A and B are shown apart, each in its own frame.
Chain A
Amino acid sequence: MGRYILRRLLNYAILLFVAVSLTYFLAASQLNPRVLWELANPPLPAETIEASLRAKNLSDNVPLLERYWTWLTGIVTGWEWGEQPRQAGDVSEEIGRRIGVSIRLITIGILGGITLGVVLGAWTATRQYKISDRVTTFGALAIFSVPVFVLISIIQVLATTWNDVTGIRVFEYIGETGSVGSYPGAWLVDRLQHLLLPTLVLVLSQAAFFSRIQRNLMLDALGSDFVRTARAKGLRQGKAVMKHALRTSLIPTGTYFAFSVATLFLGSTFVEVLFNFHGMGEFAITTIQGQDVHGAVAVAAFGGVCVLVGATLADLMVAALDPRVRVS
């Protein structure tokens, strides 16, 4: 098992290297950091611009392969992912800070969302076509079909209304922290207040997705012969469902789960932008808008790592749930 994973990781490393290199070529040839200097007021002399660009390894007068080599040796020798244009500091510092933000933002949201989704899906499957199933299905489809920024706006409007009507500021929706009270543990309360709404959005959208998947998987499992066998042994309906159908139907969900975790790091852009969290999703947009070659490549590299970690996680998850995979 250990060797298997090791070999797998090696494959991934090669894959990742190729992908990131290609992204570098794409970003370095398509983004144009020079305009950032050219737009400066008062205008800068051409030599100064060229010098600044060369200092940051961004000049398009240097051959692409040479820039690529400089960039690559920087990473290999000193884990330097390059500098951002017109700002001091290495990209990796920026990303280090933002990953922390992203983790704080999405952890509860995704865990809560998936758990709720799985539970709802499994439950509604056992109650197929009853009122509870139809209501849940409708709710999930409604959340599904509403674009996430509309959902966020609706929630923000509702929160503001609540705050205004009650006069108590329960809901916060800007940034990670705000005015911290002076009582013990106030910082925690403040953070949680700020997390509440974005987490709610993440939970709702994840739960909507997972409840649909889980419901279908569970329906398949419920109709399967082994559940009937379990019932014939003397298990009651509920127990047979929990013990035999649920466990089996969780196997494919494991795969989705791992990928969701990984992709949500970069996929929660709207939530970050609209709630003013400076996480990775927001950074992805900023780098491209800001002609930030090194930033864009670093984001792509991070995304790649996320996907590959997700794939590995998915495999481990499936191996844990499914003995058929484990043994061979």
Chain B
Amino acid sequence: MVTRPTVRTTPTQPSGSATTEDHPAARRTAAGEVVLSVRDLHVTFPSEAGEVKAVRGLDFDLRAGETMAIVGESGSGKSVTSLAIMGLHPSSARITGSVRLHGEELLGRTDEQLSRLRGKAMSMVFQDPLSALTPVYTIGDQIVEAIRLHRDVSAAQAWKEAVELLDLVGIPNPQSRVRSFPHEFSGGMRQRAMIAMAVANDPDVIIADEPTTALDVTIQAQVLEVLKRAQRETGAAVIMITHDLGVVAGIADRVTVMYAGRPVEQGSVDDIYYRPHMPYTIGLLGSVPRLDAGEKQPLATVEGNPPSVVSLPPGCPFAPRCPLAEDQCREVEPALVPHAPAHSAACHLADRVIRDGLGYADIFPVGEHAPGALERLPREERETVLDISGLKRHYPLMKGSVFRRRVGTVYAVDGIDLDLKEGETLGLVGESGSGKSTTLMEVLNFVPPTEGLITVLGQNPAELRGKARKALRRDLQVVFQDPMASLDPRMTVFDLIAEPLHAHRWSKADTSARVEELMATVGLDPAHVNRYPGQFSGGQRQRIGIARALALKPRLLVLDEPVSALDVSIQAGVINLLDELKAELGLSYLFVAHDLAVIRHIADRVAVMYLGRIVEQGEVDEVYDHPRHPYTQALLSAIPIPDPQTERTRERILLTGDLPSPANPPSGCRFRTRCPRKPALSEADQRRCVEESPVLLAVGTDHTSACHFNDVDRHVDFRA
């Protein structure tokens, strides 16, 4: 790590005397002193449907060196809050209340006055690193711009500092990378560059708005580490805005939970996670699938959807979804009041929750996990519904516009074997670019792969023609990731669900009956069949997608990240639904996801993919509790667990760098370039990693791992 040339603005004014109006940042703060103080913040936008009350009364104090997380689902007002503090809200927004930085009011200042503070006293890291950097300037240009905007240093000095900042955030070869353009950086590197820019002027407050949501877990772990380091270096206070309760557990000191524009619970991270008072918080925590959950526990289902903030009914906004709700909840909105020292909740029933020690299982309905008849049958005796052997899918890499020529090959999937038994769920996990979606498309495409054989229900789909092909299509259905994009917005729900039935020539009467039945099956009101997808929420839309997939009574369902676009509380309902359907209908799932916690919850077996190969495969608890491949170990270790105690004591295996390009995979073991196990090996052993490609070796009953050195550090527990 470099010693940064910290250019701290020296405290020139004696405290108490009149400070320069525009420069509250000129006063530095000792650790623990309040830097940012927000009181009764309201943000309102005009819209055609009426006033959008995005934030309705938010209070908090932020101390130097402290991290406060603002947690909430989409539409809860957390991002609007951050923009209002920075003064970057749209000009149509009306803001009232008070935002004080070092005791001085920021609301009502001109853009010019605020500009002197932004990037200097307070800075921001945005969600999407792909679009947050200007594509036409180099990374260095953009960091230097941030430095020279606020400090009178020479260009050469600023460039030198930019290099040091890139080094601080862990960009390799900062000397040369400083001249790279954003598109030459991977997502994780861009987010590091964003952090470098945010800390360039030693800010007092850093606001990070979902800084890792767009990144893979291994990269997320790296970036969170960088953020913590940046905070240590600058002593800044951090506001962490996120929906990921695992991330919060690992990084936050205090937590504010927001719902429908209001803070509903505030307290220390331990108070919130171990002693939540507000049913919404309790439900939120109970609905997260846990990576460390040993046996299957059904998730808490918070029924319904967050309310629209345009026309809120009186009373507690959570009341319609709260099983505890009483009459008073529907009449008077509860105030945020302390129920314990430094821990307040906005709930009329908080006292009861505290007194009776209510947990999520006491408050919310939890899905019943009843294993189906098939699950009780031993695996070997069940029919194989999907068998993939030696599957390869290579894509040509083309160049040139007039004379196109092949310049290489993308090894998207490069020799994998999978099998899926009846009534089983096989989870396919891996980072983006690992080939999991390609595998899925190969199963669906019914065309011969580059190499290998796919057998669906005992048949080779690539050889089927006409009727047999159509019949197999009926047995194999798909649920897509994005329920917004996968449903035609101009078709009614009835038409959407009935479409596969029409294609297979069901009679009119049968179709109507089936659609009604399906609506009920997936938990939607059959009376709503004439509505359009736009009138449903994300979770409901995904249920429509599932109903459509189930219409023809398939035997095998292929699911491509079916819950990753949904909010946590909604996600749990869909997962529970999928669980129930499987047991009820005897379905088999091929379930692709990047969220390993979801896979642990829903899958029976799991296959971990890396750069087009499977590196570890086996029974899900076996793989999660005793991971043997270093990649699986790192992947599991990178996933934040929504448990602050665990997070504090966890020692992470941090992978270095990014996924290599699938067009140019490393020789021998594909994981060797990032492998944490390899450096400890002898030179001869290391040569083996470079030269010899490892095969999947049995490390237990139904557990294989593709590493030459499976027996090195075999007892790695991701929880420790």
Contacts and interface: CB of A to CB of B under 8 A. Distances in A.
Contacts of B88: 228, 231-232
Contact of A324 (B118, B128, B181): B181
A224 B112 CA distance: 21
A327 B185 CA distance: 13
B134 A237 contact: no
Given A228-B88, A233-B123, A233-B149, A327 B184 contact: yes
A132 B183 CA distance: 36
A236 B135 contact: no
A226 interface: yes
A244 interface: yes
Contacts of B115: 231, 234-236
A237 B137 CA distance: 18
Nearest to B147: A233
Nearest to A228: B88
Q: What DSSP secondary structure best describes chain A's contact surface? A: helix
Contacts of B145: 230, 233, 235
B111 A226 contact: no
B478 interface: no
Given A234-B146, A236-B111, A226 B133 contact: yes
Interface residues of A, number: 23
A43 B197 CA distance: 86
Interface string A205-244: 0000000000000000000111011111111110000001
A230 B111 contact: no
Contact of B197 (A228, A233, A237, A251): A233
Nearest to A226: B134
B135 A322 contact: yes
Contacts of A289: none
B432 to A, nearest CB: 20
B412 interface: no
Nearest to B116: A234
Interface in A266-313: none
A224 B131 CA distance: 7
Contacts of A247: 134, 136
A323 B124 CA distance: 26
Nearest to B145: A233
Contacts of B184: 327
A232 B118 contact: yes
B123 A230 contact: no
Contacts of A232: 86, 88, 118-119, 123-124, 126
B136 A323 contact: yes
A248 interface: yes
B150 interface: yes
A244 B134 contact: yes
Contacts of A166: none
Given A225-B126, A229-B194, A236-B111, A323 B150 contact: no
Contacts of A327: 181, 184
B302 to A, nearest CB: 31
Nearest to B91: A237
B527 interface: no
Contact of B132 (A225, A237, A323): A225
A232 B118 CA distance: 5
Given A234-B119, A322-B135, 10 more contacts: A225-B128, A225-B131, A226-B134, A229-B124, A232-B124, A233-B142, A233-B146, A233-B197, A234-B150, A327-B184
28 contacts: A224-B131, A225-B131, A225-B132, A226-B132, A226-B135, A228-B126, A229-B133, A229-B194, A230-B134, A231-B115, A232-B86, A232-B123, A233-B149, A233-B197, A234-B116, A234-B117, A234-B118, A234-B146, A235-B115, A235-B119, A236-B111, A236-B115, A244-B134, A322-B135, A323-B183, A324-B181, A324-B183, A327-B184
